[in-house]
Structure 1
Amino acid sequence: MLFMVIEKFRDQNVKAVYRHFRDKGRMMPEGLTFVGSWVTADVGRCFQLMECDDVTLLQRWVAEWSAVVEFEIVPVVPGKDTAAALAGQL
């Protein structure tokens, strides 16, 4: 499954987040795949697309970052898959 991970940097402290990344890496458990990330222009939030089959892997990863980041995790599917699923109803 794909998950859009919305990260809000605690206290707007982007430097703390990037220091944490520099010092410890992404710290993802085996089976959790990083797809890509985008940071807002005001460097207050990051949107990451992650992939895994076991949501507990996301929970373990979030626990590693919770000191510097607040998370919202949204299961997502590609728009083309949604269009295919709805095609018979359109």
Structure 2
Amino acid sequence: MLFIATYTVRSENRNAAMERFLQSGGKVPVGIKMLGRWHTVAQLSGFAVIEADDAELIQQWVMEWNDILSMELFPALTDEQVGPLMFAALAKKEVVG
């Protein structure tokens, strides 16, 4: 399953977050696939797209970072996954409406 993970570094933890990222490479636990990570310009925030089927691994990853930053995770779908759902929703509306 795909997830979008957003993060915000607490300003007082900026240096600690940079140090941890540089030391660890920002790696995720085995079993989570990092599809990409983007850092906002001139902000202490960003987002990543991950793929994982194990909520415990996701929680492990979050707990490795949530002492110095805030994270939120959102389930996500690709265009290929959501397209048929949109088609079905519109078809259902035509039948009902």
What band does the TM-score fall into relative to the shorter chain? 0.7 to 0.9
Q: Percent identity?
A: 29
Q: Which has the larger radius of gyration?
A: 2
Aligned residues: 90
How far apart are the structure 1 equivalents of 2:11 and 2:22? 19
Q: Which runs of 5+ in 2 are unaligned?
A: 91-97
Partner of 1:44 in structure 2? 44
Partner of 1:62 in structure 2? 62
* Two-structure CA RMSD over aligned residues (Å): 1.7
Q: Which runs of 5+ in 1 are unaligned?
A: none
Distance 1:65 1:85, change over 3 A: same
TM-score (norm: length of structure 2):
0.80
TM-score (norm: length of structure 1):
0.85
Q: Do the aligned partners of 1:8 and 1:46 also contact (CA within 8 Å) in 2?
A: yes
Query: Structure 1 stretches (4+) deviating beyond 6 angstroms?
Result: none
